[in-house]
Structure 1
Amino acid sequence: MKKLARTGLLIVASLGVLSACAYGSEDSSGDDGNSSGETVEDSGEEAEEGSGGQSGGKVSIPIVADPTFNPWHPNAYAESNVVNRVLFSGLTKPGEDLVPSPSLAESWETSEDELEWTFQVREDVLWHDGETFDSEDVSYTFNEIVLNEELGANGASFFGDVEEVVADDEFTVTFKLSNPVAALPAYLGFNSEILPEHIFNGEDPWDLSSFNKDNAVGTGPFKMSTYTSGQSVVLERNEDYFGDTALLDEVEYKVLADSNTHVAQILSGELSIFSLEDTASIERIEQQDGVDVYPRETTQFYWLSLNQEHEKYQEPLVRQAITHAINRENIIDTVLQGYGTIADHGISPALEEYYRDDVETLAYDPDEASLL
């Protein structure tokens, strides 16, 4: 097996691009039907005090391909994850500092030997078709789909130590493990949404196109409204959602494969928000009235992997010399337009609870690299 040493290079910042006309009612455009570029103040009823927003309106967000409405489907890639996270719900979800917090599960505990995790699931959850969610949905999703090696479910590798999932009663479910997995609640909150047993039972989960490519039924804060392949997915607010009801009336995901089209449509007001990865057009976007750019630190890294099967890379001083020889700040300034941070160790500043800045750093120093 190859031994690899990683030399940290950069932590990339995520750039959220938001149109000022992102939120508002259908008539928030000018009389000619074009976006006015102004924030609409009367786009809906006042939200409840402390909610931090108004109810009503919709947003348009780009995705690069047609989604698959099944989080476990082998073809459910990034464009599917974005949609599925609001159509469906997992047992947990990422909370503050990414610590798992309740979602479909209200609470959980582990046995003394850490080989069993027992989850108490909510009793007030309805599927979008009105059927009641219960522990059978959880056990079915895992036993029949995730743990079925023949199916090759997307993300199944996270659950390799799960032997079976048992529905103890209507609202209690236990994961039985072959080895302790302290991170199980975290895994259950990452693209691990639960599917409806009453629809999938007896069906091939990958061939059920009436669900995966048409009319998905979830438990999330939004539900299916319309889907036109190659064009868009429109979700509407789920009024029966078990959590806080969404403020937006609708979310539209527009299928736009070309990132240049994302830029053009945010500038024209046809898109409301998207994440910008290529900073080549950042100046043009920042100069546009009614469009704002919000940098956010992420956990995305760039690094060099040095194959330590080669003797020269087994020497720590050689690896340190390589780091000293790379002008990482210049890469950030020129390639990333300033939107990045030097990665001095394996935890991003975005994870504030776990990040430390008192570690030894290896600054750009060609002379020191030569000496080493």
Structure 2
Amino acid sequence: MKPSIKLLGAALFASTLLSQPVYAETPPTMLVVGFSMNNILTLDPAAITGKETVQVLANIYDNLVSLNPVDRAKVDPQLAESWTIADDNGSITFKLREGAKFASGNPVTSEDVVWSFKRLMKLNLAQASFLKTHGFTAANADASFTAPDAQTVVVTLPKKLDPQIIVQTLGIVGPGSILDMKTVMENEKNGDQGAAWLTNKSAGSGPFTLGQWASNERVILDQNPEYWGEKPAMKRIMMRHLAESQSQRLMLEKGDIDIAFSMSAADLKALEKDENVEIQTNGGSGFYYLAVSMKDEKFQNPKVREALRYLIDYQGLNDSVLPYFGRLRDRPIASGIFGSLPNAGYEFDVEKAKALLAEAGYPNGFSTTLRAISDVPFMSAATAIQATLAQGGIKAEIITGTGDQIYGAMRERKYELLVGRGGGGQLPHPDSNLRATVYNPDNSDAAKLTNFQGWRTSFYDEKINKMIDDALIEGNKDKQIKDYEAIQTYYADMVPALQPFSEVVDSVGFRADIKGLQLNPSWSTQLRTVTKER
């Protein structure tokens, strides 16, 4: 009965907190976070998509390594206390730390690590794409992931590439998350490797455990008494679904929440004048983009796609819609990453767009649909793009909804136009952007490479696939930089199905007495470091 009583108590506490009137401040050992849960569809690390789910799971699961939030070139130990790369660059050997336990009390062993990676490849869900793109498959998983002893994990690379990018990949929440094999398999049903159970349960070794997930209401995380690291200051984290930016702002001002992750530029700007609130802005991952589906005959025409390129008001969008969220970027590699070129300099040009549409056989434009999540800043960006498309004669009906409805249509390749956010970048390497944005090794519907925007947009170009593969294994750094510059030039010339108009930056508002908060560009912000000075 005790687990049921505990869960009931947590639910009653959460319910009471949600229904209480405004109060001065949150409890000293509970962190209350406001953000949007519209895109949280599952909590299974193998199946997650989107930034918001990573924000939750980063506090539940450990990886072998973690990506440093300040120095993006640095990888820190986590469950692995050390690792070595073989002289031939063909394998990586990780040594696990002694004494780490899962929340269940089970020890973290190399068997759990190897099973987690094999499960990822066998299920072949969204997060498997991070390793599949480098040659890992369900078929070669037994050879790729081995455990010589209880504290040693060996990852053997299935093809030639830079092993550092695999180390970095294993620091991403999702593909690198380590699960408690015994607990998960005790809850397996019909051979699903615990997938159904993990939708709303957890089996990690991180500083917190999942106490409760009520879809589009709240997530409650409780301190993990078995955590191997320094004990978090917070005993509980309540992550509340507050889809409206204004609601987050008002509650942050009044002290009803401690941190607000999903506020509009206008609300963030207004809060800068509040001495009780601080704003932190940090480099993020990926891009905001306009994507087309090349399953649609209109968008198979490169002149139509080029016309769309000139019906985006790049400067206007970044100045009016995306302060605190993005900065102007029209290339597929983020600025500051080695090999990135300066912006191409595309500008809003209605007459040029109209001429291109006429050449393509659409002198009077056409009607289409434009999808966008109902969250900030997607709807504002979609509305602005709808207006500029109209000036070129393209009548776009906006379809809005949750992440499941909008990105679900994209993953099923059943859409026309879409304003979205993505494009990799969790790793400080140009390959991270390019594989997510344009790489597509198999354009068939059956391939279901849902984590690749190239596949989602039905864009396939064999030459750019080869250019991306060759650049990754190029051993001469100067030559590698030139290779990545050439890819960006070719990307511009072929007019792809996805046009970035801004690179993501992350901004968060928080009460001034919150200390130790550090946004992570890979989305895996650790809340175990947060304290309250009150």
Q: What's the TM-score, normalizing by structure 1?
A: 0.67
Shift of 1:270: 2.4
Distance 1:64 1:138, change over 3 A: same
Residues 1:89 and 2:84 aligned together? no
* Residue in 1 that maps onto 2:157: 177
- Say whether residues 1:136 and 2:111 are aligned partners: yes
Q: Which has the higher contact order (CA 8 A, sep 6+)?
A: 1
Tell me the secondary structure at the aligned position of residue 53 of structure 2.
helix
Q: Secondary structure at the match of 2:287?
A: strand
Equivalent position of 2:178 in the other structure: 194
Aligned to 2:148: 168
Instruction: Check 1:311–1:234 CA distance in 2 against 1; reply closer, same or farther (3 A cut).
Output: closer
The CA distance in 1 between the partners of 2:311 and 2:129, in whole Å, is: 38
Equivalence map 1:299-338=2 (5 Å): 299-303=285-289, 328-337=314-323
Residue identity opposite 1:197 in structure 2: M
Report whether the alignment pairs 1:100 with 2:80: no
CA distance in 2, matches of 1:365, 1:153: 38
Q: Which 5+ residue runs of structure 1 have no aligned equivalent?
A: 1-31, 44-55
CA distance in 2, matches of 1:311, 1:337: 31
Give the structure 1 partner of residue 34 of structure 2: 61
1:158 to 124, 127, 130: 130
Measured against aligned partners, the alpha-carbon deviations of 1:262-308 in whole angstroms (never above 9, x if no partner) come to 34433443222122353244455445563333333323424567999
2:283 to 297, 300, 313: 297
> Aligned pair in 2 of structure 1 residues 250, 134: CA closer, same or farther (>3 Å)?
same
Mapped contact 1:67–1:83 kept (Cα < 8 A) = no
Contact 2:281/2:324 (<8 A) preserved: no
Partner of 1:53: none
Corresponding letter in the other structure for 1:166:
T
User: For 1:86 and 1:166, how far apart are their aligned partners in 2?
Assistant: 27
Pairwise CA distance, 1:250: 1.9
2: CA distance, partners of 1:232 / 1:345 = 37
Whichever structure has more strand as a proportion of its residues is 1
Deviation per residue, 1:333-353 (Å, 9 max, x gap): 22335764332755545xx57
Residue 120 of structure 2 aligns with which residue? 146
Where 2:251 maps in the other structure, the secondary structure is helix
How far the C-alpha of 1:70 sits from its partner, in A, is 2.2
Counterpart residue identity of residue 255, structure 1: H
Q: Which runs of 5+ in 2 are unaligned?
A: 1-19, 354-534
Residue in 1 aligned with 2:214? 229
Asked whether the equivalents of residues 30 and 238 of structure 2 are also in contact (C-alpha less than 8 Å), the reply is no
Whole-angstrom distance in 1 between the partners of 2:156 and 2:267: 50
What is the deviation of 1:126?
Answer: 0.8
Q: What letter corresponds to residue 116 of structure 1 in structure 2? A: S
Query: Structure 1 residues 277, 284: CA separation in 2 closer, same or farther (over 3 Å shift)?
Result: closer
Q: Which has the higher helix share?
A: 2
Identical-residue share of aligned pairs (%): 22
1:242-253 alignment to 2 at 5 Å? Answer: 242-253=228-239
Please give the secondary structure, in 2, of the residue aligned with 1:118. strand
Q: Does structure 2 conserve the Cα–Cα contact (< 8 Å) formed by 1:69 and 1:84?
A: yes
Distance in 2, matches of 1:146 and 1:339, equals 31
Contact 1:93 1:100 in 2 (8 A): yes
Q: How far did 1:135 drift? A: 0.2
What is the DSSP-based 3-state SS (H/G/I as helix, E as strand, rest coil) of the residue aligned with 2:248? helix
| CA 1:336–1:157: 2 relative to 1, 3 Å | closer
* 24, 33, 38: which one aligns with 1:36: 24
Tell me if the contact between 1:123 and 1:134 (Cα under 8 Å) persists in the aligned partners: no
Deviation of 1:76 (Å): 5.7
Give the direction of change, closer, same or farther, for the CA distance of 1:119–1:194 in structure 2 (3 Å limit): same
CA deviation string 1:15-68 (max 9, x = no partner): xxxxxxxxxxxxxxxxx974436x99xx5xxxxxxxxxxxx4433333415663
109 and 313 in structure 1: CA distance in 2 versus 1, 3 angstrom threshold = farther
Q: Give the Cα separation in 2 of the matches to 1:254 and 1:305.
A: 31
Distance in 2, Cα, partners of 1:360 & 1:251? 41
After superposition, the Cα gap between the structure-2 partners of 1:68 and 1:131, relative to the gap in structure 1 and judged at 3 Å, is: same
Cα-Cα RMSD: 4.0
- Aligned residue for 2:405? none
Task: Determine the C-alpha separation between the residues in 2 that align with 1:136 and 1:108.
Answer: 17
Taking the TM superposition and a 5 Å limit, the aligned residue runs for 1:11-22 are: none
CA distance in 1 between counterparts of 2:324 and 2:125 reads 39
Given candidates 243, 261, 271, the residue that maps to 2:257 is 271
Q: Is the 8 A contact 2:63 2:170 kept in 1?
A: yes
Q: Distance in 2 between matches of 1:35 and 1:281?
A: 21
Pair 110,33 (structure 1): closer, same or farther in 2 beyond 3 Å? same
Quote the Cα distance in structure 2 between the aligned partners of 1:333 and 1:157. 34
* 1:324–1:365 CA contact under 8 A, matched in 2: yes
CA contact (8 A) 2:314 2:348 kept: no
CA distance in 2, matches of 1:133, 1:84: 18
Q: In the superposition, relative to structure 1, how do residues 305 and 289 fare at CA in structure 2: closer, same or farther (>3 Å)?
A: same
Kept in 2, the 8 Å contact 1:166–1:175? The answer is: yes
